[in-house]
């Protein structure tokens, strides 16, 4: 009869150890090496403290970690003052953030190049008789009332776009500054009080209202509330931002989302 052993989910085959942590990874970066050096120093200090508490009682000279001179350690060349470690951590985190931003921007730029090439190929083929309009299903992943903005994420292309209510490219009515009228002053005072109750943190609301103007069929004014995880359709476009191409999404009005539908975006430039 076979005996089933419990599976060790934390094991790492690379080091043949029954457990795995970030600092036991064989892939070591600069920040990992700094952490390893501090661990070596800490382990030596720990051994000194333990030795001071062992042996005959008359020979014991207990010491505390803070009383040990770092210059007396065999690992002293690996020792860094706390202030220096904090400086290294701050710089490493900043570099990591910048590297992520560059990586995301690079992916976005090359996706824009692909969209341009795809549009050229599709328009030249003339199969549909209409210009190629890449449209995606998108989800609102963030709504910020204070900045009057929201973030759209399109799963199909794994891209997100930040949109402000003041963006002139969008089809909804532009968000204007509060005017100097009595109604405007009252609205401004209300926003100030609301923000005061929220504290100094960034004010994030569960909804944001936008005005689409007049419905082309009913003639009624259309206002829509945007809330997190709300699904919309949007057309992928390209805009120039800071000297390079950047992806943009133009949200379809509510009355066009069902009618237009969403066709899959081709994943190759090769014609079938």
pLDDT one-digit tens code per residue, 64-115: 657 888 888 999 999 998 899 999 999 989 999 999 999 998 999 999 999 9
Average pLDDT on 34-60 reads 80
Please say whether the beta carbons of 170 and 213 come within 8 A. Answer: no
pLDDT 10s digits, 230-265: 999 999 999 988 788 999 999 999 999 866 568 889
pLDDT of residue 162: 95
Q: Is the dihedral of CA 213, 218, 224, 230 positive or negative?
A: negative
Please say whether the beta carbons of 145 and 240 come within 8 A. Answer: no
Average pLDDT on 174-194 reads 51
Q: Go through the domains of the chain in sequence order and give each one's CATH number.
A: 22-80 (no CATH), 96-175+202-260 (2.40.50.140)
Residue entry with tokens 């490219």: 169
Quick one: DSSP state of residue 78?
G
Q: Is the full-model pTM beyond 0.75? A: no
């Amino acid at each position: 009869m076979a005996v089933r052993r419990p599976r060790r989910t934390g094991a790492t085959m690379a080091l043949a150890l029954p457990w795995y942590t970030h600092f036991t990874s064989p892939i070591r970066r600069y920040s990992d090496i700094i952490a390893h050096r501090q661990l070596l120093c800490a382990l030596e200090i720990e051994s000194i403290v333990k030795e001071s508490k062992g042996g005959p009682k008359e020979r014991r000279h207990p010491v505390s970690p803070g009383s040990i001179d770092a210059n007396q350690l065999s690992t002293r060349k690996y020792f860094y003052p706390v202030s220096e470690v904090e400086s290294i951590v701050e710089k490493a985190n900043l570099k990591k953030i910048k590297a992520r931003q560059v990586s995301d921007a690079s992916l976005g730029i090359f996706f824009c190049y692909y969209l341009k090439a795809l549009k050229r190929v599709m328009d030249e083929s003339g199969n549909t008789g209409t210009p190629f309009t890449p449209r995606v299903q998108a989800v609102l992943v963030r709504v910020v009332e204070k900045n009057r903005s929201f973030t759209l994420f399109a799963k199909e292309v794994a891209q997100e776009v930040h949109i402000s209510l003041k963006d002139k490219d969008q089809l909804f009515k532009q968000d204007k500054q509060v005017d100097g009228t009595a109604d405007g002053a009252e609205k401004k005072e209300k926003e100030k009080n609301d923000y005061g109750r929220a504290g100094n943190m960034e004010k994030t609301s569960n909804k944001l209202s936008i005005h689409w103007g007049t419905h082309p069929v009913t003639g009624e004014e259309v206002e829509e509330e945007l809330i997190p995880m709300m699904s919309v359709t949007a057309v992928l476009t390209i805009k120039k931002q800071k000297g390079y191409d950047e992806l943009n999404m133009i949200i379809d009005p509510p009355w066009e989302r069902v009618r237009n539908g969403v066709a899959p975006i081709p994943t190759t430039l090769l014609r079938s």
